[in-house]
Every structure is written in structure tokens, then in C-alpha cells.
């Protein structure tokens, strides 16, 4: 049975393994729900970007929002990556994991004054500015701090990435970026404001993109702007081409990182921009297929219209199916020699939208373990405590070693910051 995604998640005989370790054994050792990640899969994924960029001035900035566990960030920091952040909290995580602030790009449309001041204090590489109002505030904060903020403007190329509307970011109707037609005027304003130094241009058109055409279309529009901005006397030193490369959840066939990057570099060179530094911000493509969410089967509930497999993981652990109606592979951790039953895999949360997979053919019994595949990205990072449920534990696997990299939340953890009213 071929599983989608990483070769490091595969069956050995009838047992699902992660880097050769039994996933059921991990569940028995660390409990469930459990997120488990392959270090080798993550390093293989980032190496594909790095191979394609050999000989170029470049920086691969891992998008922290995809999976912000400190150990995951540590793996990428040690692999030479920078980081793409969207909050001051993520910046704190990067620093705690040993990341270099000078290799951080600060994205996001709603940076606060305090977040700007923190990023300036620690010396981030660049602010990816997303509005003219943000530009004005950043100038004010930089001047007050006596520092210079290096900026790149995130432009909206109005290119359809052909992905889910919730994760499309490059169209006119999206909230992200500066409108293409306003870009040159905004660069002029940035160059004139005190406390700012223009360094680059940034573009991000969406997530889970499985075709190279939208990237190339967006790149052409970005290069058109670079030429127009430089004609206005404002030099552009780097091209930040964002992230968004998709992974295989079921039958998608996205291009490899090497193929995508080489196509983009060829277009950059053909248009005479090969001297510029290039920045990429991959997230999902580095961690998505490296992880699984492991859950115990609690009950099997047959019904007239639907059969249900009730497990101990829920929408608070994995929001993607409920939020995006995302399809994610679900398999038994130990295969049984019996006919499968078609059923919906659902969790204990009191919402009809609490499902992990619909109409799945599984041969499982109560007490067995199932694994949701390709769960390394936007799984734990989007988890919540809805229904006062503690968030899952996380483990990182490398060869024959497995490390607990986040403890399971206990009941007291869930309300430790709350206060009762005073007694009367």
C-alpha cells in the first residue's frame, strides 16, 4: 500500500512506521492524541530548496506558522534556515530555538507598535510591509527607537493561485499586500520616510499550490514592478518570492521544490535580474508530509445512514478538515486481515463539524490506533482548547530515537491564568 507524502511514513509489514519506528509503539509510550514528526523528512525537504539555490545569493526562511514547535524550529535553524514570522510571539519562539533574528523576515498585515519595537530591538532582517498605513507607523516607531527598519513591500499581483479561497492571498479581493497599481507610489513614500531603508519586494499568492504557472505569472508581474521602481530611482536588492508550494494529501502531484525554484531562477535570469538575492518562505512543503496525528479508536458506532469511528483526537487537535473541508489520509496503525467498513472518523467535541475524515474504509476495533497522514503543517499550530481539551503531546523522531518535544497539557494548565471572583 503506497501512502501519500513522505517515504519516511510507511508500513513495515502490517505496522505503520515513522522512520522505522512503530507508530503504535509511539502512541503507547507517549499517549494519544499525539503528533509525531520525522526529522529526516524535514531535512530532506529543506535540502531540496537548498540544492536548487546552490551558487545563488539566497535565504530559505521557514514559515513558522506552519508548525511552531521549538524543536522543529531548532532543526531548521541548525540547517541554516532563516524564518518567516507573522507575530512577536513567533519571533520569541525563533530566538528561544536558537534562530538568528538577522535572518528573520516579519510578515503579516496587522503588526502592532509593540511588535515593531520588539523586532527592531532584536534586529530582524526585514519587515514585509503590507499597507501604506503600516509603513507610516513603522517609520514613526523606528525614529522613536533611534533605529532603521529595513523594509520590503508585499505587493499583490492579482494572480489566482487556484487554491482554496481561505488560503488564497494574491487576488484583489484578498486582504493581503499592496495593490499592484499603488506599488510604485508606495515605494516612493517608503524611500522618503525617515527611519526606513528599502531593501526588497515581496510576493505571496497563496498556499497548497500544485502548479508552477501561478508562480511564474506572479514573478513576471513582480519583475515588472522592480523595473518600474528602479526607474524611479529606488534600488531593489532582494526578491522575496514567498512560499505556498503544495504537498501530497491524496492524489495531488505538486512540482518538487527543485523544479519550482529552477523555473523561477531561469525566469529571473532571462529577465536580467540574476544578480539579486532571492528569498523563499516555505512552510507546508517543509513539514506537512513529515508528521502524523495518532489517535486511539474509542468506539465504533454503526448507524442506518452512517457508520462512525469515534477517536480521541478532535477538531481542536486538527482544525483543517472542519475549517477547510480538507481531505487528509487516515490509516490504521496496525493492519487487520479483515474487510474494511466505510465510516466517518469523528472526535468527541460537541459539534457536528468535528470530523477528521468522511467515508473512509477502515478495518479497526476499539483500542486500535489510527494515523492522520500529512499532519505536520497547520495541525498543532492551529490547535485549541475548545471543550476544555488539553492539546496533544508532540514527539520528534530521528532514526531509532524519539524525543518528547511538547508535553501533553494537563487540566490545571487549561485555566491557570484564570481567576475566580472574590468571595462575598
- What would the pLDDT profile of 177-206 be if each residue is shown by its tens digit? 898 889 999 999 999 999 999 999 999 888
- What pLDDT does residue 145 have? 98
Residue range(s) of every CATH 2.40.37.10 domain in the chain: 9-38+288-414
State in words which class domain 107-282 has: alpha beta
State in words which class domain 9-38+288-414 has: mainly beta
Cα–Cα–Cα angle for 230, 234, 238, rounded to 5 degrees: 80
Mark whether 350 is an active-site residue: yes
- What pLDDT does residue 164 have? 40
- Do 373 and 390 form a contact (C-beta atoms < 8 A)? no
Measured N-to-C along each axis, helices 257-270 and 213-231 cross at an angle, to the nearest 10 degrees, of 30
Rounded to whole angstroms, how far apart are CA atoms 183 and 129? 11
Cis peptide bond N-terminal to 376, omega within 30: no
- What pLDDT does residue 180 have? 86
The number of helices, as runs of H, and strands, as runs of E, in the chain is 12, 21
Mean pLDDT by 10 residues, the chain (424 residues): 80 95 98 98 97 97 98 98 98 98 96 98 97 96 98 84 45 68 94 98 89 91 95 97 92 92 97 97 97 98 94 98 93 97 97 96 98 97 97 97 98 95 92
Rounded to whole angstroms, how far apart are CA atoms 289 and 254? 13
Bridging pattern class, strands 82-85 and 21-22? unpaired
Q: What is the DSSP string of 222-278?
A: HHHHHHHHHHTT----EEE----B---SSS--PPPHHHHHHHHHHHHHHTT-TTSEE
Residue 405 CB burial class (10 angstroms; 0-12, 13-18, ≥19) = middle
Q: Cα separations (Å) of 229 from 131, 222, 276?
A: 17, 10, 14
Backbone φ, ψ for residue 361 (5° rounding) = -95, 110
User: How far, rounded to the nearest angstrom, does the alpha carbon of residue 119 sit from its chain's CA centroid?
Assistant: 21
Rounded to whole angstroms, how far apart are CA atoms 18 and 10? 7
**Gap between the terminal Cα atoms of the chain:** 65
Residue 110 is placed in which grid cell?
Answer: 496587522
- Do 125 and 102 form a contact (C-beta atoms < 8 A)? yes
- Do 281 and 84 form a contact (C-beta atoms < 8 A)? yes
- Name the residue among 134, 59, 127, 131 with its Cα closest to residue 88: 127
- Name the residue among 142, 147, 227, 140 with its Cα closest to residue 187: 227
- What pLDDT does residue 1 have? 56
- What pLDDT does residue 236 have? 98
Task: Please tell me which residue in 61, 81, 126, 350 is annotated as part of the active site.
Answer: 350
- Name the residue among 126, 125, 127 with its Cα closest to residue 110: 127
* Count of residues in the chain: 424
- What pLDDT does residue 166 have? 39
Residue range(s) of every CATH 3.20.20.10 domain in the chain: 107-282
- What pLDDT does residue 173 have? 53
Amino acid at each position: 500500500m503506497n501512502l501519500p507524502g513522505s517515504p519516511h511514513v510507511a508500513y513495515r509489514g502490517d505496522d505503520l512506521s515513522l522512520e522505522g519506528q512503530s507508530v503504535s509503539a509511539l502512541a503507547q509510550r507517549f499517549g494519544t492524541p499525539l503528533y509525531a514528526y520525522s526529522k529526516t523528512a524535514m531535512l530532506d525537504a529543506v535540502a531540496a530548496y537548498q540544492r536548487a539555490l546552490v551558487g545563488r545569493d539566497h535565504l530559505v526562511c521557514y514559515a513558522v506558522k506552519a508548525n511552531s514547535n521549538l524543536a522543529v524550529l531548532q532543526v531548521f535553524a541548525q540547517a541554516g534556515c532563516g524564518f518567516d514570522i507573522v507575530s512577536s510571539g513567533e519571533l520569541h519562539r525563533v530566538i528561544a530555538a536558537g534562530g538568528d533574528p538577522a535572518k528573520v523576515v516579519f510578515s503579516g498585515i496587522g503588526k502592532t507598535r509593540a511588535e515593531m519595537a520588539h523586532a527592531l530591538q532584536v534586529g530582524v532582517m526585514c519587515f514585509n510591509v503590507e499597507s501604506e498605513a503600516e509603513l507610516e507607523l513603522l517609520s514613526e516607531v523606528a525614529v522613536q527607537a533611534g533605529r532603521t527598519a529595513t523594509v520590503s513591500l508585499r505587493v499583490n499581483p492579482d494572480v489566482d493561485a487556484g487554491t482554496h479561497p481561505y488560503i488564497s492571498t494574491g487576488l484583489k479581493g484578498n486582504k493581503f499586500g499592496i495593490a499592484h497599481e499603488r506599488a510604485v507610489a508606495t515605494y516612493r513614500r517608503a524611500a522618503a520616510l525617515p527611519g526606513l531603508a528599502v531593501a526588497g519586494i515581496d510576493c505571496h499568492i497563496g498556499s497548497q499550490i500544485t502548479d508552477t504557472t501561478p508562480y511564474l505569472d506572479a514573478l513576471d508581474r513582480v519583475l515588472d514592478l522592480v523595473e518600474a521602481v528602479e526607474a524611479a530611482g529606488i534600488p531593489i536588492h532582494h526578491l522575496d518570492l514567498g512560499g505556498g508550494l503544495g504537498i501530497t494529501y491524496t492524489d495531488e502531484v505538486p512540482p518538487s521544490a527543485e523544479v519550482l525554484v529552477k523555473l523561477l531562477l531561469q525566469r529571473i535570469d532571462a529577465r536580467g535580474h540574476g544578480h539579486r538575492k532571492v528569498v523563499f518562505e516555505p512552510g507546508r512543503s517543509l513539514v506537512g508530509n513529515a508528521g502524523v496525528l495518532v489517535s486511539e479508536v474509542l468506539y465504533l458506532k454503526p448507524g442506518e445512514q452512517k457508520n462512525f469511528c469515534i477517536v480521541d483526537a478532535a477538531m481542536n487537535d486538527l482544525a483543517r478538515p472542519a475549517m477547510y473541508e480538507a481531505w487528509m489520509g487516515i490509516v490504521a496503525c496496525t493492519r487487520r486481515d479483515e474487510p474494511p467498513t466505510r465510516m466517518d472518523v469523528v472526535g468527541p467535541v460537541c459539534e457536528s463539524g468535528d470530523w477528521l475524515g468522511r467515508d473512509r474504509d477502515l478495518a479497526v476495533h476499539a483500542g486500535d490506533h489510527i494515523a492522520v497522514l500529512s499532519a505536520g503543517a497547520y495541525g498543532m499550530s492551529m490547535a485549541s482548547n475548545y471543550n476544555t481539551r488539553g492539546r496533544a503531546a508532540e514527539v520528534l523522531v530521528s532514526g531509532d530515537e524519539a524525543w518528547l518535544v511538547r508535553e501533553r497539557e494537563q487540566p490545571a494548565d487549561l485555566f491557570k491564568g484564570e481567576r475566580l471572583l472574590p468571595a462575598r
